[in-house]
Amino acid sequence: MKDKFFKYIHELQDTITSKLEAIDGKARFKEDLWKRPEGGGGRTRVIENGNVFEKGGVNISGVHGKLPESMQAYFGVEDADFFACGLSLVLHPKNPMVPTVHANWRYFEMYDQNGTIVDQWFGGGQDLTPYYLFEEDAIHFHKTCKTACDKHHPEFYPKYKARCDEYFYNTHRNEARGIGGLFFDYCKISDDMTMQNWYDFVTEVGDSFLEAYVPIVEKRKDLEYTKAQRDWQEIRRGRYVEFNLVHDKGTLFGLKTNGRIESILMSLPPHVQWVYDHHPETSSEEEKLLHVLQNPIDWINV
């Protein structure tokens, strides 16, 4: 399974980066191959200063070795080895009318001292972080997510949409990071799901990413915007940074397993503002966004 999924994310990275380069029309992804001293490595691809994408990364990694003590304590195991692979992407467009997007699809195995698999699971998801809310874009993104989920289980979309709303939440701000999407983790063998079933589901979601995001980019990338709207984008990016550094489990796992710091933090945008006690004007488009971030919406039945 690990070889099969590792091959899949290699191919998906190629597909996604090729499409994004075509959309941008100017910038190209810079590729960086790296190795982890304890075992494994990855292929980082970063795009910067493009016509459309100010900064973005589409990274894959496959790392293995002894599970660090801090993570052994987290999982409640002793002397365990692990293998983890996944694709993680974040795209920060230049135009504030185009939303930031994040996606991740990953697979994990844990072994005992004899090298026998004692646990394995899939995880991942995709979510949208707009700066200006276009309801039709939110509906499109969520409908695409639901279509992918419904091919595998009728309860997946409502379940993983709710988990996404719960997970990507800045508790210290009492607001969501964005308008959600899907989030699933610890997807293991059960009475009605084999690991092959989970593989089929996760790859279905991965294959749906471009369909979910690209039409939104193409519709919004050439819209005009003001400096004030750009400032708002940078203020909201600050909240994105706060979530990634304070709450995100993937960032935490990477830092605690001696992951490559440049790849872990490639999700951070290049231009950000933190304005003291900032509040948007009453009844403005900016305030409208904040209201939605504080009150998650059922975008399928809106």
Give catalytic residue positions. Answer: 102
DSSP codes of every residue in 125-173:
EEEEE-SS--HHHHHHHHHHHHHHHHTT-TTHHHHHHHHHHHHSEETTT
Q: Is the dihedral of CA 63, 68, 71, 73 positive or negative?
A: positive
Asked if 56 and 101 count as a contact pair (C-beta separation under 8 A), the reply is no
Q: Which phi and psi angles does 97 have, rounded to 5°?
A: -80, -15
CA 16, CA 112: separation in Å to the nearest integer?
A: 36
Asked if 68 and 259 count as a contact pair (C-beta separation under 8 A), the reply is no
Report residue 96 as tokens. Answer: 């504030």
